[in-house]
Amino acid sequence: MENRKKVIITERIDQEGIKLLQKHLDVDISFNIPREELLAKIHEYDAIVVRSATKVNEELMSLGIKLKAVGRAGNGTDNIDINEATRRGIIVANTPDSNTMSAGELSIGLLLAQARNISQANVHIKSGQWERNKFKGVELYNKTLGIIGLGRIGSLVATRMKAFGMNVIAYDPYISDERFKRFKVEKKNTLKELIQESDFITVHTPKTKETTGMIGEKEIEFMKPGVRLVNAARGGIINEKALLKGLKSGKVASVGLDVHEEEPCFNNPLFELDNVIVTPHIGASTIEAQVNVGVTVAEQIINALNGEIVPNAVNLPAMHRDELAIMKPYIELLERLGKIYYQLHKDPIEFVNINYWGNIAAQDTKMSTIAFIKGLLEPVLEDKVNYINATLLAEQRGIGIEQRKMNENYNGYLDYIEIKIKTKDETFVLAGNLSSKREGRLVKIGGYEVDVNPSKYMLLIQNIDVPGVIGHIGMALGEENINVATMQVGRNVRGEKAMMVLNIDDEVSSKNLEKLMQVKNVLWAKGIKL
Ligand code: NAD
């Protein structure tokens, strides 16, 4: 049996996560292992899974000579020295998304419940009454929803409430305009603007110095009469005293709260009001969220050890699951395109320009740029390069990297990624995009236009553009027993040089290449592996 990689789990995670790890790795379940014991055996493991108690510090990482990944089941990473991990090229990943859907759906539940008095009506009918006129609600349709904090949960609430026909606006000074555009949410530059225009307001920020009490008396004064509020983020972001006053005065029609200034909380004056709907911090309490934590941490570890994209790596640009779904084929394509240059040329690179054109320019492209750099260095550094250290290693080699975004289309392409690799004397140009089936395509190489779905093994041949060369090459390929899956010829000017790009089934040997080079009018032939 092949030598499987090893992971140690030092704190409890869901059984589903353990099962998934066991499918791919040798798993040592050592819940609550004493520190000394862990330090004594950490050198055996490629990865470690922890919650919040195990300290993954310099001491542990220096002894963990094989460590490539640290998985944190849960959100915070206070117990992990991220900088040290980054220096060592160790991927640290947590599971921040695992309860996002649950918390978002609960927030929406609190919006709907107060708009239609669902909880009150429920208590009413069960107490033997039937007074329907007491429960006249309001529709969400055509109302303005103000979201404070357009992060993971805020954006999820935004897209879902747009489906309800709400006009969604948001205030979040810490994110790019691109993110507002991506979620088709109108950006408000100040909290005051958002508050003044909203019929419903929901908060989705972390609790920080700045956000504690960010909705207070003054803010409630600016609100529309009859406004309805939700807080399923953290207790105290809406000041409870000010809220009580607003509710009593009738300015605030109702509120839904999952989180409270003091938790647990039993005797809160807010609970005495009919138009206050409360839940005991149950945002993450779903079957799915609990399983998700275990499964997600397992997935991150498996991806990290396989050298694949680790969506929740905290020492890499963060990506939401939806963003990743959009970007994954581009990330994979760019990593493959990255591998081409050093298999063709040896000139030291001075600069890499990655230009994103069209729709792709509106996406978060940090990860695809990193993937290109990782691919670029792989033929030289092999498994010493990973997503974490790729940029750093490129910098150390004096390679400048710049990504640029152009919102307009390129030459009729809706999406187009053009990469210019500059050496002292020349510029090597590559470009790629996705087909309608979302397959990665190589559409330009060395300045020649082609259209190929790059395969694992490829053959590149430069020749003089004269009749008969293709036939001769075809024969030589046959003689050398090289099976061709697809073949494309790119040329810029008739009679000058042309480039043949072939997808082939197996790797070509240097003997094969020598034979091909002997074909008349062939200038060079190179095999590459992507
Ligand atoms: P996130 O980090 O993805 O998003 C938070 C957003 O708030 C970011 O976009 C940030 O830029 C923005 N922000 C920060 N300060 C701001 C400010 N002063 N004004 C406006 N925007 C600001 O976080 P998330 O995963 O979406 O979580 C949001 C909140 O929900 C957090 O407080 C989290 O603890 C809470 N949460 C609650 C439950 C629950 O059980 N009720 C479950 C999960 C998360």
Domain with 417 in it: what CATH number? 3.30.1330.90
Q: Specify the number of domains making up the chain.
A: 4
Helix, strand or coil, per DSSP, at residue 354 = strand
**Ligand 1 centroid vs 195 CA: distance in angstroms?**
18
Residues 234, 292 share a domain: no
For residues 339 and 302, membership in a common domain is answered with no
Indicate the residue among 454, 472, 506 that finishes a domain: 454
| Alpha-carbon gap, residue 404 to 427, rounded angstroms | 17
Q: Output phi, psi for 440, to 5 deg.
A: -70, 135
103 C-alpha vs ligand 1 centroid, how far in Å? 11
Q: 155: which 2 tokens?
A: 């954006």
> What does the pLDDT profile of the chain (530 residues) look like in tens digits?
568 999 999 999 999 999 999 999 999 999 999 999 999 999 999 999 999 889 999 999 999 999 999 999 987 788 999 888 987 889 999 998 889 999 999 999 999 999 999 999 999 999 999 999 999 999 999 999 999 999 989 999 999 999 999 999 999 988 888 889 989 999 999 999 999 999 999 999 988 889 999 999 999 999 999 999 999 999 999 999 999 999 999 999 999 999 999 989 998 999 999 999 999 999 988 999 989 999 999 999 999 998 888 888 888 776 766 788 899 899 999 999 999 999 999 899 999 999 999 999 989 899 999 999 999 999 988 767 888 888 888 988 899 999 999 988 998 888 999 999 999 999 999 999 999 899 999 999 998 999 999 999 999 999 999 998 889 988 888 888 888 999 999 888 777 899 999 999 989 888 889 999 999 999 999 999 99
- 248's CB contacts (< 8 A; 6+ apart) are 273
Give yes or no: residues 136 and 271 share one domain.
Answer: yes
Residue 353 has φ and ψ, to the nearest 5°, of: -105, 125
Residues belonging to the active site: 234, 263, 281
Q: In what side-by-side order are the strands of the sheet with 91-93? A: 26-29, 6-9, 47-50, 69-72, 91-93
**Ligand 1 closest atom vs CA 97:** 25
Among the three residues 411, 432, 454, which one is the final residue of a domain in this structure?
454
CA-nearest residue, atom 9 of ligand 1: 151
* 308 and 258 both lie in a single domain: no
150, 171, 205, 296: residue to mutate for ligand 1 pocket, most atoms within 8 A of CB: 205
Q: Which residue ranges have their beta carbon within 6 Å of ligand 1? A: 96, 99-100, 103, 148-154, 171-175, 204-208, 210-211, 232-234, 258-259, 281, 283-284
User: Does residue 200 sit in the same domain as residue 165?
Assistant: yes
| Cα 153 to middle of ligand 1, angstroms | 7
Q: Are residues 132 and 270 in the same domain?
A: yes
* Domain membership of residue 154 as a residue range: 100-278
- Residue 251 sits in the same domain as residue 357: no
Q: How far is the CA of 151 from the centre of ligand 1 (A)?
A: 6
Question: Which segments within 232-348 are labelled E, that is strand?
Answer: 252-257, 276-278
Query: Does 201 lie in the same domain as 125?
Result: yes
68 with 126, same domain: the answer is no
